[in-house]
Amino acid sequence: MRRVIICVKSMNARLRRQAGTGMVEVLVALFILAVGLLGVLSMQLTGVRSNQRAIFITEAQLLAEDMLSMISAYDDISNGAGQTAEDYGNLTTIAGASETNCNSGCSRDTQVRNDRNEWSRQIERRLPGGFGQVRDVQIDGMSVLVITVMWDANLRGAIGSEAAVADDGTIECPDDDLACYTIKVRI
């Protein structure tokens, strides 16, 4: 019969050299997993911000078009383009606007005030730091209404305010944290 002699000393020495190696492997694997999860979290956060930005742009576009619809409806009942430009050409939104309860048969002033208040409430409700303005600008001898909606694009507490309109109808947002959406309409 053969005898197998196992050298316990050499196995114990090898095991002692291997002691803690499994723990290091586990720590390295956990570190790699953590870095991967941070990457996934970063991608998720970027996606949420992009979606939120798209929602705000869509809301601003809808709100600007709402004002355009109000102006177009008013233009149909007013004394013409000159009166529309005069009545809406220097309009800005106001915080905490009240309802005027004017649905039909309103005077021109009441209708303009009703449109401004409704637009103000919608902008305040749908956009952070929202602000809207309509300006009448003469471009190539024609009256152009410049409708601008602005909001706090970076959600840092910026509040929209009146923006200067250049002679060509362009607008520069008054604050770097604000985003502006503008429509130009010849009347």
Mean pLDDT of each 10-residue bin along the chain, 187 residues long = 60 64 88 96 94 95 94 70 77 81 76 89 93 90 90 87 81 86 88
Q: What confidence score (pLDDT) does residue 143 get?
A: 86
Residue of 166, 160, 157, 162 whose CA lies nearest to 179: 160
Q: Identify the H or E element spanning 147.
A: strand 142-152
Position 149 scores a pLDDT of 95
pLDDT for 138 = 87
Q: Quote the pLDDT of residue 95.
A: 83
CA 89 to chain centre: 25
pLDDT of 87 reads 83
Residue 101's pLDDT is what? Answer: 72
* 6 C-beta neighbours (distance < 10 Å), count: 7
Greatest distance between any 2 Cα atoms in the chain: 121
